[in-house]
Structure 1
């Protein structure tokens, strides 16, 4: 299997939810943040990079004991694009950090073939979805999960596309502009999850 880095975007303020989604918990009190990290890890992603922003210190505390690299997107308030740029740019710069206050950073580029972009507000997306999308990894690939209702997350971005995505990711559009007009493989994940993002308390 190709080496695939996982990037979890968890920086938003969750204004419609009433609190940052990085701090949300499921009915059994399990944090969405840690569940999403484990979905990436158990689905075959290594390393896993978590990009925080709003309530970063509280969210960081939830990640104790997990083997993740924690970044803060200083411009997170401008939209998802800032978090995506932060996560992708980090993959070519360093590896080995467990957080700002954790062990020292080992300076070396990450040799990942692709990056899988996941969102913290998809609580029913588990490792089976991640593994199915990761299975298509290649340096030139663009792929994303499809739950029977069109393009969704997670999104797989081959290494050759990272510079283009970083350059085009602005506001809340993330990689949308870059993906538009390009061949993007739809990976059938229907039956594994709904892939529905949870934006408001009514969605719970």
Structure 2
């Protein structure tokens, strides 16, 4: 396969392992599991060939077609969820990219995912991020060439954000016309 080949699988991942301390409960359970269903549907219908969900504080039955990934060190923060996803795909030569999404973004639907994937072109070298009114958001596409470097850069309670912030080649896709992109850290 060519280094920047578009032939391959895009893996979608919903980060949902945390306890949701500020929210008052694990967000994977929010709205009676509806947020999880919406996130999985967004990735599946948006174009991801495989969908995974990180879980840790609680384990739940996955909505189809998602598969669960147990994050043993979920208390260490979002970096451990990102690590679990990237380690899953790192050695796979069939994966061209990973689309990372968050469970607490119920307004982000398949249309946003499609826009991010379209901008990536399925390229192994691409870095793409949805933005909302100029704010960086999710989902984020990491071409497979970036999986190893992001794994090496993960630290503390930070995901791929520092890696993306240090890059000048991140494609930003404005999506505010499709969703507000606001994460829900606190209950209304």
1:165 paired residue number: 150
Contact 1:79–1:170 (Cα < 8 Å) also in 2: no
State the match for 2:3 in structure 1: none
State TM-score, norm by structure 2.
Answer: 0.90
Which of 101, 119, 139 aligns to 2:102? It is 119
2: distance between equivalents of 1:135 and 1:153? 15
**1:17 & 1:187 partners in 2: Cα distance?**
28
The equivalent residue for 2:134 is 149
Q: Give the one of 18, 24, 27 matched to 2:24.
A: 18
What is the aligned counterpart of 1:44 among 43, 47, 71?
A: 47
Corresponding position: 1:128 with 2:111: yes
- Distance change (3 Å), C-alpha of 1:84 and 1:165: same
Q: Which runs of 4+ in 1 moved over 2 A?
A: none
- Gaps spanning 5+ residues in structure 2: where? 1-5
Instruction: Tell me the residue number matched to 2:78.
Output: 80
CA distance in 2, matches of 1:110, 1:139: 11
Point out where structure 1 has 5 or more consecutive residues left out of the alignment.
94-108
In structure 1, C-alpha distance between the alignment counterparts of 2:160 and 2:134, rounded to whole Å:
19
Please give the alpha-carbon distance, in whole angstroms, between the structure 2 residues aligned to 1:178 and 1:4.
20
Which among 125, 128, 139 is matched to residue 140 of structure 1? 125
Counterpart residue number, 1:98: none
Distance 1:92 1:69, change over 3 A: farther
Deviations 1:79-107 (A, max 9, x none): 000000001110135xxxxxxxxxxxxxx
Q: CA deviation at 1:34?
A: 1.3
Q: How far did 1:181 drift?
A: 2.0
| CA RMSD across the alignment | 1.5
Shift of 1:30: 5.7
Separation in structure 1 between the aligned mates of residue 33 and residue 77 of structure 2, nearest angstrom:
26
**Which residue number corresponds to residue 197 of structure 1?**
183
Q: Is the 8 A contact 1:22 1:120 kept in 2?
A: yes
